[in-house]
Amino acid sequence: MPQRRDSAMRPKRLVVLGGRPPARAGVVWLVGAGPGDPELLTLKALKALQSADVVVHDGLVTAAILDLAPPAARRISVAKRKSRHSYSQDEINRMLTAFAREGLTVVRLKGGDPFIFGRGGEELEACRAAGVECRVIPGVTAALAAGASAGAPLTHRGSAQAVTFVTGHAAKGGEPDLDWAALARPNQTVVIYMGLSMAAPIAARLMAAGGASSTPALIVENASRADERRVVTTLAGLAEAAAALSGPALLIVGEAMAMAQDLMPAGVWPDLSMDSRLRGNERS
């Protein structure tokens, strides 16, 4: 049966004016949807989705994951749009708390993990300020899926003692204000979120700060999705490689990226329903 999806709908009747208080207290679940593959959703995230009255979701959340919510659950997209009204963070915060005050179970579904460049902290603070119960369910952040998919560990004995996640964009747009000298040091992995369009200045900064131009680098676009693409390159080649991609993508720089493979065709993520070894119900 086709599922109801009114993503474009604006929420109506956000507040019950002068009405009776709801019979049950509402709650906001801040849920990480993972990088895209529905099989990378946690069991807790699945349970929260199945209990949702309202799902407020970002653009990076795939249709296959939204379909896991009950058909009757209202789905509201707060994805950033170029041509139509985008919800401000304040509007999203008010929406979440207003629905919860109506006694509803609200699932705020975000790509990856809600607390990794996901503005989950701001939504948690808004719920706390409004006296609304808010619980957080972590998700597989894109960096973990990208490393796993390429066969490139983010930490690796002898070549990556640390891993750092940074944003490739300043809060108000433009180049990020990062500690380039620290990021250019060897024996670590630097993962850059939202950095595709800034790949050239980022690579230039890292090399100017002492990063070797030959440092292995990897770009993963649409990690864990059927249309995943991977490019294995070096710090010197990062900008040119990034120019051929359109995102969402991660730039990953560090010696351990020497292990990355770009040969696997896209869409080869293990499908548990097809793999008898993982199903465990067939004799070998």
Active site amino acids? 58, 80
Binding-site string for ligand SAM from residue 239 to residue 258, where x marks contact by CB under 6 A and - marks none: --------xxxx--------
Minimum separation from the CB atom of position 81 to ligand SAM (A) = 15
User: Which letter, b or e, does each residue of 10-47 get, where b requires 16 or more Cβ atoms within 10 Å of its Cβ?
Assistant: ebeeeeeeeeeeeeeebbbbbbbbbbbbbebbbeebbe
Q: Which is nearer to ligand SAM, 146 or 163 (CB)?
A: 146
Contact indicator for 254, 215 with CB cutoff of 8 Å: yes
C-alpha separations of 224 from 118, 124, 213, 248, 270 in Å: 18, 27, 28, 12, 10
Q: Which is nearer to ligand SAM, 104 or 250 (CB)?
A: 250
Q: Which of residues 96-135 bind ligand SAM (CB under 6 A)?
A: 110-113, 116-118
If one asks whether residue 35 binds ligand SAM (CB under 6 A), the answer comes out as yes
Residues 6+ apart with CB under 8 A from 91: none
Binding-site string for ligand SAM from residue 155 to residue 194, where x marks contact by CB under 6 A and - marks none: --------------------------------------xx
Instruction: Look at the block and give the residue holding tokens 């008898």.
Output: 276
Contact indicator for 86, 80 with CB cutoff of 8 Å: yes
Q: Which of 141, 188, 215, 234 contacts ligand SAM by CB under 6 A?
A: 141
Minimum separation from the CB atom of position 26 to ligand SAM (A) = 24
Q: Which is nearer to ligand SAM, 111 or 211 (CB)?
A: 111
If one asks whether residue 61 binds ligand SAM (CB under 6 A), the answer comes out as no
Minimum separation from the CB atom of position 4 to ligand SAM (A) = 26
φ, ψ of residue 163 in degrees (nearest 5): -130, 135
Binding-site string for ligand SAM from residue 220 to residue 239, where x marks contact by CB under 6 A and - marks none: xxxxxx--------------
- Provide the binding-site residues for ligand SAM, judged by CB under 6 A: 35-36, 60, 110-113, 116-118, 141-142, 146, 193-194, 220-225, 247-250
